A and B are shown apart, each in its own frame.
Chain A
Amino acid sequence: MGDMTTAEIRALSKIIDELDYYKILRLQPSAGSAEIRQAYHANSRHFHPDARRRLDESLEAECTQISKRVTEAYCVLRDPRRRQAYDAKLLRKEGLRIQLAEARAAHQRDSVLVRQGRTAQGRDLYRKATEAMADENWPAALQNLQLALTFESDNTFFKNQLDSLRASHPSEA
């Protein structure tokens, strides 16, 4: 990013609430961790309170506001779990910001959901599979897990369970 004019900084601070974290940091949604860090540094060179000496003093409030949002964007995007929760929120069009604590909790909730199953059928079959495992009825456990995966083919938790069951009871598989 090149040097910004006073007018550009004022404009940016006005529309900052309308920008998602990728736009604030000027990143593509596919950006990797190195790019995210570089973008954080580049933005800090402009807006961080340490960098203000080059700027018009009347812009202090605007720069502080932008700087806080830059930090927030960086905190979310650099953390894969937070970023995942944020991307999901963007997809659902539920807002452009996510609180840091919210992002963490959302991820935890998602992972609980994944564990229990996201669909009614998946949850039901997974429950049957765990009951079968408790009874050491391995064929039934395998069958129910396989069926659960037909409803939630991307459920990595189910997949891992199935893999470890196959590994520990190869004869049944």
Chain B
Amino acid sequence: MANAAVGIDLGTSYSCVSVLERGSPRVLANVYGERTTASVVFFKDDGQIEVGNQAKANIIHHPVHTVSSAKRLIGRYFFSEEVKKARAIYAYDIREAPNHGVRIGIRDEEFSLPEISAMVIREVKQVAEAQLGQPVTQAVITVPAYFNDNQRQATKDAGKIAGVEVLRILNEPTAAALAYGFGRGINQRVAVYDLGGGTFDISILEIGKDVFEVLATCGDTFLGGDDLDDRVLDLLADEFVERHGINPRNDPHAFEKLKAAAEETKKGLSVEEEFCVQINDVMKNEAGEPLPLVRTIDRVEFARLVQDLIQRTFKVCDEALQQSDLTTRDLDGVILVGGPTRLPVIRQAVTDYFQQEPKADVDPDEVVAMGAAIHAASLVGQETAAESILLDVTPLDLRIGVVGGLAEPVIESNTPVPIEQSRRFTTARDDQESVAIRVYQGESRIASENELLGEFEFSGFTKGRRSEVEIDVAFEINVDGIVEVTASDPNTGEQASTSITLSSGLSEGDLDKILRSDRAARVGAVKTAPSASEDKQSLESVQAPPESTHATGKDLAEEDAIDLADIDLEEDILELAESQRDSWAEDENERSGPGLFDASVRDLSAPDDDPEEL
């Protein structure tokens, strides 16, 4: 084989790369023999970029120019809770970009999150190339099962920027189950308990000889090993304040030292009964004297600190079991994934909850990359690879925005993919010329409480009286968990198709710009790298958006959300729609959409406003 297809576990804290060799997955180590690479990027003064374990080791010296845990931010809006939290914790500069996006400011440059992740992908790609002695051009990249469309898209973009063809975006727990069940010829029902650095997933799967069916998946993208560290960090910081009367949280260097100590404590307690933090010089006082911190933490105290976080994971497990109509007694095995699951306090809690010992022959740090490698080989048809068919599900309800600020479910969570569903809607006003179609993911009927995946405008359909003009909207979720929406007029066949315009992260135009720019080489893409022909095509077909000629604020205020046609489905929603419609007649300018996105409506819809584009 001239080019290798690898599996990449792109983790919050650490990343790992693996390849299938002679029918079994091998984890590829770097020149120092390290089998995982810290997902940390350090921007040096001279413009060089250093990625990995060395960058992590130096983080206390360069906290402002070192980006860690980028996965917590990828595909998120600037106003999201997670970004707010990250801005409080990390010393690097997290800025707002147009359309509520997020950028990392490093000196006089700005980087998008997919670019940061691309640097990590490039690093592990190079590790693989050095080990294999051949170029790596294709990869399966894993994501938490609970990642939404925005996060998946952004991760896929990161792969493209790093110059790899992303064969598949694969869910981490599914990858772990594949690695566990691969080639064993077993028939088992298992739970995969995946506590990563920043996310928690639980998946229930049925493993067969060649078919792996996900029965249910649930998760919490706000919960991970980092949160355990934060509890220890808080304890250490409070202790320091008590001892010296100075808050180390206000000093980035001191804070990084305590953060490193907290992580070490957590790791230490995986093997020892107690761990002693001993830092001679956390920071200096006004007189320039070093202020030390010495504190011993044992397993009992640590367990008390994190108990509620661990209990939160079991609430999610309850949900997954309920969704799959099973109890813990129906499970043949429990697989632990993610570094934090090495902690005895977690292993014990998991054993108690599932009433059985977790499988011991699975390496929680490497199993995901191994599964991804197995699947990559299967997808490219590598001869030594047995074919594996992964029947996965979508983790979240897919919804469409309707009048009244509501979001109607179209595809429920835990529906298998690929799937396509379509709904028929009617216009909300007489002679309406266009509709704004907003697509959400989340569990709430209130539109603004869900994640907005994007919106696009559909125009050119038949004009007529309100509620008499029909519009079909088709929703598709593919095997990457990525959403595509198509609107059409059932009478004329007129169609507007788009994979959703990203409201956060990168638009295809942005991505195109990065791939063409000089900085691509620095960021990760080798411009001459043979990328997939389909990728090239889709990128080349995207031109700069034409200047909008008639998208004024007024037009957009007038055109609006669409109305439900399938009346008897959701009568209460329709009632709301009706009353909303009445208030419209009185005040045409009143908008019903979530106020939060009003500003972005203009930005987003402008490029699509030209009917030629649709």
Contacts and interface: CB of A to CB of B under 8 A. Distances in A.
Contacts of B378: 50, 53
Interface of B: 208, 210-211, 213, 375, 378-381, 387-391, 408-412, 415-423, 476, 478-479, 566, 568-570
Given A50-B378, A102-B569, A71 B479 contact: no
B420 A102 contact: no
A74 B416 contact: yes
A68 B419 contact: yes
B418 A67 contact: yes
A54, A68, A105, most chain B CB atoms within 10 A: A68
A45 B378 CA distance: 13
A72 B391 contact: no
Contact of A48 (B391, B410, B570): B391
Nearest to B390: A50
Given A45-B211, A50-B379, A68 B387 contact: no
Nearest to B415: A75
A45, A99, A102, most chain B CB atoms within 10 A: A99
Contacts of A54: 387
Contact of A72 (B379, B412, B419, B568): B419
B211 A68 contact: no
Contacts, number: 75
A50 B389 contact: yes
Given A50-B375, A101-B569, A102-B569, 17 more contacts: A40-B391, A41-B208, A41-B391, A44-B211, A44-B391, A48-B479, A51-B389, A53-B378, A53-B381, A71-B416, A71-B417, A72-B419, A100-B411, A100-B412, A101-B408, A101-B409, A101-B423
A64 interface: yes
A102 B569 CA distance: 7
7 contacts: A40-B213, A40-B391, A50-B375, A50-B389, A71-B416, A71-B418, A100-B421
A49 interface: yes
A23 interface: no
Nearest to B480: A49
A109 B476 CA distance: 27
B167 to A, nearest CB: 10
A105 B572 CA distance: 12
Interface in A97-155: 99-102, 105, 109
A138 to B, nearest CB: 35
Contacts of A105: 568-570
A151 to B, nearest CB: 24
A68 B409 contact: no
Interface residues of A, number: 24
A71 B568 CA distance: 25
A48 B210 CA distance: 13
A101 B397 CA distance: 11
A68 B420 CA distance: 6
Given A44-B211, A50-B379, A53-B387, A101 B418 contact: no
Given A50-B379, A50-B479, A75-B416, A99 B211 contact: no
Contacts of B411: 100
CB-based closest 5 A-B pairs: A53-B381, A105-B569, A68-B420, A50-B389, A41-B211
B371 to A, nearest CB: 13
A94 to B, nearest CB: 13
A71 B421 CA distance: 11
Contacts of B388: 50
A71 B392 CA distance: 11
Interface in A13-33: none
A35 B379 CA distance: 27
Contacts of A99: 421-423
Nearest to A67: B418
A68 B419 CA distance: 5
Contacts of A45: 210-211, 389
Contacts of B211: 41, 44-45
Nearest to A53: B381
Contacts of A48: 389, 391, 418, 479
B353 to A, nearest CB: 27
A51 B422 contact: no
Contacts of A41: 208, 211, 213, 389, 391
B379 A53 contact: yes
Nearest to A65: B420
Contacts of A64: 418
A88 to B, nearest CB: 14
B389 A44 contact: yes
B420 A72 contact: yes
Given A45-B210, A53-B378, A105-B569, A100 B415 contact: yes
